Amino acid sequence: MTGEDIKQKVILTILKFYQISECEILAIKRVEFSGLSDSEINASLYNFEKNKLIEIIDNRAVRNDVYSVMHKASNLYDCSIEIKILDGFKKHIKEHNLSSYLKEKEKTTILKLSYDNRKLKINEIIIANPHFESENDYFATYITNNPGKKLTNQEFVKFKNSKMTKKFDQIINDLGFKRNIKKLFFPNISIKAVEFRNQVTSEDMKKAGIDDIYPSDFSLKK
């Protein structure tokens, strides 16, 4: 990753939170700058401050002096970078058309559901191996071939040509959809019907109020 790539990644992260909050004073958690080292983030922040895009209020989360290390050690889960957005930042975003870039980026697929050879995957992670012609097998087949639709009890009974033995919520849990993963792929679940999607974008996560996906959200199968 080049220096320009690093600065681009940092400024887009700042822009994302500026657009969400619409506040000129931002406190952004260190973990939001994933994939970048403290020194890379800090160098970018100083560059932005030098060019009058931002004012650094508190950058201890990415500094490595003794005082900052002590601060990070005592704030392991809530270590944030605090900055003030200046007019130069808004001008820079407009001149480089970064708002449009970020909107397009938000439409990029982050998570994709697939089902092949009775292996249900999110990206390349196997979350379930349903038994052949089981209720879970029929459900996984249906949702991966009919994304973005609502499935009712009657439609599912007709599809598998037999009565349902489990509720939709139980089938979904059995297939390994937990916590935020379940919320993202199945935005609406009831006794009578379920709504589902087979891919998730940054925009979908934002609308659902989900900042990130964690290993605990997956029920992994070998």
Co-location of 100 and 146 in the same domain: no
Co-location of 87 and 143 in the same domain: no
DSSP states along 132-145: TTSHHHHHHHHHHH
Spatial CA neighbour of 64 closest among 36, 40, 38, 31: 38
Amino acid letter for position 33: F
Per the structure block, which two tokens stand in for 43?
A: 């160098």
Residue 201 near residue 110, CB atoms below 8 Å: yes
- Phi/psi for 152 (5° steps) reads -100, 165
Give the CATH number, domain containing residue 209: 1.10.10
Residue 87 near residue 61, CB atoms below 8 Å: no
Counted domains in the chain? 2
What is residue 34's DSSP assignment? T
Amino acid letter for position 59: N
- Phi/psi for 195 (5° steps) reads -110, 140
Each residue's pLDDT, cut to its tens digit, for the chain (222 residues) gives 799 999 999 999 998 888 777 789 999 999 889 889 999 999 999 999 999 999 999 999 999 999 888 888 887 667 899 999 999 998 998 888 887 765 665 666 778 899 999 999 998 889 999 999 999 999 999 999 998 889 999 999 999 999 999 999 999 999 999 889 999 999 999 999 999 998 888 778 878 888 777 666 665 554
Q: Which domain holds residue 38?
A: 3-104
